[in-house]
């Protein structure tokens, strides 16, 4: 089942990226905090509902036990949201999508296990494919800007600002996923339900802090129920998180790079809903990534 959960996570997060991009305002310096607030509120609602529906006795201490993982995820996501203001003119995407490969490598180094050749081939194909696809995206965006004779602000190119956010995201998220693999798969330090609730309640607390900061410290105009795109992104993010913990608990070392392939779903959806044109090499790379995903799915049956 870890394979199905991984695909569901990738689909949900791929769709979430579409709405994150639509909901990010390059002119709004607090856009990232507003997204954090929306995601945290939705996760809090889901956590309470999930706890009562499944009649789970949640131990608040699990929030402390799981805090190292929650902290790294929330921090990396916040940095990712900041980077959305530069995503069209930076190398953020190819670097961020390498987070799954980072976590898989760390898990393999510290918790070596015998892997089927199909697993290894699938991981390599998906990881390289995701990064290459993102590079193609960057090249296509630059070509489109040049064709329109638009001047690219130097700070949005290969500057320290453009590079820092995606690198930090990839490293922190990769280490967070590595830690999650230890908690959920390798050492079984916490159950899937407890991890899910601990993370979502922690995110909710962060969201409350961000909301009060925006409303009462910065006096920002922030009408939660009018933030449609951010709200949809938050729901999709939470949906992906639900499947994510079960995928990581099942087979963390393979699930991590597979989930990182959610970028291909973002590309496909952006072409469908934003009516963008996709090049032949992008179609080819998506096909290659899909082959890698099929290989990982077949390996589960072996």
Q: Which residues span the domain enclosing 158? A: 2-301
CA nearest 26: which of 70, 77, 66, 86?
A: 86
CA distance 242 to 192: 9
Query: Tokens for 126?
Result: 């998906």
In 21-175, the DSSP E strands lie at none
CA distance 297 to 176: 24
CA distance 75 to 98: 17
Whether residue 206 contacts residue 36, with contact meaning beta carbons closer than 8 Å, is answered with yes
Show the DSSP H helices in the chain as ranges. 2-23, 31-53, 61-65, 67-83, 92-96, 99-110, 117-147, 160-181, 192-212, 228-259, 262-273, 280-301
Per-residue CA distances from 92 to 101, 116, 162, 199 (Å) = 16, 32, 7, 25
Question: What pTM does this model have?
Answer: 0.83
pLDDT, tens digit only, all 302 positions of the chain? 888 999 999 999 988 988 887 777 777 889 889 999 999 999 999 999 999 999 999 999 999 999 999 999 999 999 888 876 665 433 455 556 667 777 877 888 888 877 788 888 888 888 788 778 777 766 776 676 676 665 555 444 444 555 577 778 888 998 999 999 999 998 999 999 999 999 999 999 999 999 999 999 999 988 888 899 999 999 999 999 999 999 999 888 888 888 877 767 777 776 777 666 667 887 888 788 888 877 877 766 55
Query: Tokens for 79?
Result: 């940095």
Query: What is the number of other CB atoms lying within 10 angstroms of the CB of residue 148?
Result: 7
Which residues neighbour 8 within 8 Å (Cβ) at sequence distance 6 or greater? 239, 240, 243, 247
Which residues neighbour 224 within 8 Å (Cβ) at sequence distance 6 or greater? 37, 38, 41, 231
Number of separate domains in the chain:
1
22-56: pLDDT as tens digits: 777 777 889 889 999 999 999 999 999 999 999 99
58-83: pLDDT as tens digits: 999 999 999 999 999 999 999 888 87
Query: Tokens for 229?
Result: 């795109």
């Amino acid at each position: 089942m870890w394979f199905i959960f991984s695909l569901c996570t990738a689909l949900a997060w791929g769709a979430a990226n579409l709405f994150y991009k639509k909901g990010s305002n390059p002119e709004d310096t607090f856009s990232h905090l507003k997204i954090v607030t929306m995601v945290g509120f939705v996760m809090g609602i889901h956590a309470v509902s999930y706890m009562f529906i499944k009649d789970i006795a949640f131990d608040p201490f699990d929030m402390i036990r799981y805090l190292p993982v929650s902290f790294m995820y929330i921090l990396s996501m916040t940095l990712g949201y900041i980077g959305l203001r530069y995503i069209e003119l930076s190398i953020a995407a190819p670097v961020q999508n390498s987070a799954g490969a980072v976590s898989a490598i760390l898990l393999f180094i510290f918790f070596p296990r015998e892997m089927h050749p199909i697993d290894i081939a699938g991981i390599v194909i998906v990881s390289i494919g995701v990064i290459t696809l993102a590079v193609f995206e960057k090249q296509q965006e630059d070509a489109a800007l040049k064709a329109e004779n638009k001047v690219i602000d130097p700070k949005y190119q290969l500057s320290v600002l453009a590079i820092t956010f995606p690198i930090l995201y990839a490293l922190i998220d990769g280490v967070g996923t590595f830690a999650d693999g230890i908690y959920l798969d390798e050492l079984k330090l916490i159950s899937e339900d407890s991890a899910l609730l601990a993370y979502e309640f922690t995110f909710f607390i962060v969201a409350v802090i961000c909301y009060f900061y925006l409303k009462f410290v910065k006096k920002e105009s922030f009408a939660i129920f009018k933030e449609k795109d951010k709200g949809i992104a938050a729901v999709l993010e939470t949906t992906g998180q639900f499947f994510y913990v079960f995928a990581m608990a099942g087979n963390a070392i393979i699930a991590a790079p597979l989930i990182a392939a959610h970028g291909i779903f973002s590309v496909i959806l952006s072409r469908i809903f934003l009516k963008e044109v996709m090049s032949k090499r992008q179609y080819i790379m998506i096909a290659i990534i899909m082959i890698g995903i099929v290989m990982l799915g077949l390996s589960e049956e072996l």
